Structure 1
């Protein structure tokens, strides 16, 4: 079963990359043709049409390998972000510069002499728009579908998010992305006056926390989520009191440690407010610079990597810039799931999955 699952995953990955490779080939060819077409006002002279057909194989031979080099076919299509778009732009820029450099070296060859420089600039613009657009398409469609469909169609409760910072933004993004969370965000509450009226993923910042009870009544709120992982207990007590004054009984919170250790807020981490959240607690400060200095550029081996602690250590090792990660465990299924997650969250990092028992001396020595 495990082997079939791995083979199926590999086949899916191969088909996905082949589809992207074919799409990129078509887009690169189309971009160059449109560049000639735009340069000559939709009437390409025969000499320059021949030049297009002659230079097209050169453009493909230069740009496609560079896309592979920049790991463009290792992106997770559904989770393209700023880092992936930056790499896309960089790959397009290097490819266009390489194309221009080779044409410059061949400038004395009659077949390509007189190549309009504007064609190269237009070609770069169309290539960047095309390659970036196709990689953003799935996320854009999913986002539009999610916003249109809404969690209310799945029984989502009208929810106010207290805290319009990074934690709140990640929380709302997760709620909108996942199909069935049980929540539907109808507004943010934040004390920062600069944020009032802003839209975050289409959800408006309504105003300060002191008006929480009013917002609950006007927005017909059914649940409140406190998205302030590092807030002191006094702030949490005040927020809970205001929510209850507004008539809301379902009050949830993001745990204090979730943001500190993962750097990412997940919807699954939301839980009920507990007595210890309302009591005083010491502020914990983690020296992330020291951790990064210790891990960056190093090869790291983590045993028990498929467990909850081990998998989190793997995430942190990659997050803080380890050069190479080896994840060891005897749980093949757990390692498979970990590998899929690491590839999605850290597409540009190296992580090697190893199946083995720490009690096996020969295996450990070989590693």
Structure 2
């Protein structure tokens, strides 16, 4: 077994030995307020002192004193040191008692004073070492890099603040904290003062003029982040944030490495909705599944999730070569799902679709093929009707003809009281699916699902908003209000 006391830790052993000697000798002088009586001086002779050091150091080794870096000493390390010092006191007391070392017994007060002194010396030396190592240099009086105000005064903010102060290379100088809790105002965290509450953020930014504002509240809701970002935008102060709790858990724990610009997702009034794929796995596992528009953003994500539940075969249909190739390669190479069939075809071609259905006999059909960019669809209404509405009819009719068990239409929230061509064409798709669903002469079950803005999807307004935010605004919307 490798000894924890190597040449790099030997100086710690020497320091501890000196502290043990100092605590033992000083306890006698404190106990008697002057030089100890003659009949006790035997306990201060060098051989006795060496014996005490010989008892102490092995106990310290056993309690892992030299497995820890002094520069990173924590409260847990301090408690471990307290247990080790207590064990040393017990061991020394037993040795002196059992060996009948000297006719004059060690006074009980000596054991108590020595315990307290040794505990103070051992823990104090480690805390002092950390303080000296982390102490800012002489040049730290001058701001290094960007001056930043941190929103939050909790655990995440404490870790971020400590890392900023300890690592000048990060390029941040914290100049204050802001927190929702008014009771924290004027308190200090690592020497940095809590300037006020988030309600006072506006005038604090005007008074302090930081280079950046950092949101260090991983549990903050989208509404809270949005309010903070809006205040910072008015004061023309850039904002960065820590990710949410779920994102932090799934990534590296290095908080400073996770500081990033605020994304649109951070400002949502609710968390993004994740597909509950497990709830629909029952009718996908062991079946042939066909997805139209498989190369698109929503179709591709459907393919990824469907592949997780183990269909017999996943048929990918798309008329775009690049998107179809990329999702097929991703499923095969990255996700090790080889039961794929990539079909480069226009889903509106009835003859081709009959060939595909006849060859693969899909039991479940997800129809995600559609034009979704509102301005383009508005400028090309005839093509929108063909690709969105007529293609849906072709795929639905073919699914019924070949006895598919389920047909799922991927629709949009714009189909509700639609005011534009895209929404109207998707509304027609829903009526087609609803009409098939009410018929009794087919075994195919029809249903539809309406998506709002799917984060990162093609045609979503979110990427447009993100580019506008990166340019400094404004964020444009089509609604007059």
The TM-score bracket by the shorter chain reads: 0.5 to 0.7
**Counterparts in 2 of 1:231 and 1:265: CA distance versus 1, 3 Å:** farther
Residue 104 of structure 2 corresponds to 113
Report SS of the residue matched to 1:161. Answer: strand
Say yes or no: does 1:170 pair with 2:159. yes
Residue 218 of structure 2 corresponds to 229
Greater helix share, structure number: 1
Q: What are the residue-to-residue correspondences of 1:256-271 with 2, within 5 Å?
A: 256=244, 257=246, 259-261=248-250, 266-271=255-260
Q: 1:238, 1:84 → 2: CA distance?
A: 41
Say yes or no: does 1:186 pair with 2:178. no
CA RMSD of aligned residues (A): 2.6
Q: 1:230, 1:43 → 2: CA distance?
A: 61
Output one character per residue of 1:177-216: Cα deviation in whole Å (capped at 9) or x when no partner: 1122221111111111221221111111122212211001
Contact 2:39 2:104 in 1 (8 A): no
Residue 253 of structure 1 corresponds to 241
**Counterparts in 2 of 1:264 and 1:119: CA distance versus 1, 3 Å:** farther
Offset of residue 46 of structure 1: 3.2
Offset of residue 57 of structure 1: 3.1
Q: Which has the higher contact order (CA 8 A, sep 6+)?
A: 1
TM-score (structure 1 length as normaliser): 0.67
Contact 1:36 1:119 in 2 (8 A): yes
- Among 9, 15, 18, the residue aligned to 1:17: 9
Output one character per residue of 1:112-134: Cα deviation in whole Å (capped at 9) or x when no partner: 53311111111112211221122
Q: Which runs of 5+ in 1 are unaligned?
A: 1-9, 285-367
Report SS of the residue matched to 1:197. Answer: coil
How many residues in Structure 1 have an aligned counterpart in Structure 2? 270
Q: Which runs of 5+ in 2 are unaligned?
A: 274-481
Report SS of the residue matched to 1:282. Answer: coil
Q: 2:94, 2:142 → 1: CA distance?
A: 55
Offset of residue 14 of structure 1: 2.3
Say yes or no: does 1:56 pair with 2:44. no
Say yes or no: does 1:203 pair with 2:196. no
**Counterparts in 2 of 1:265 and 1:27: CA distance versus 1, 3 Å:** same
**Counterparts in 2 of 1:221 and 1:13: CA distance versus 1, 3 Å:** farther
Q: 1:192, 1:258 → 2: CA distance?
A: 25
Report SS of the residue matched to 1:231. Answer: coil
Residue 93 of structure 1 corresponds to 86
**Counterparts in 2 of 1:32 and 1:112: CA distance versus 1, 3 Å:** farther
**Counterparts in 2 of 1:150 and 1:174: CA distance versus 1, 3 Å:** same
- Among 115, 130, 136, the residue aligned to 1:124: 115
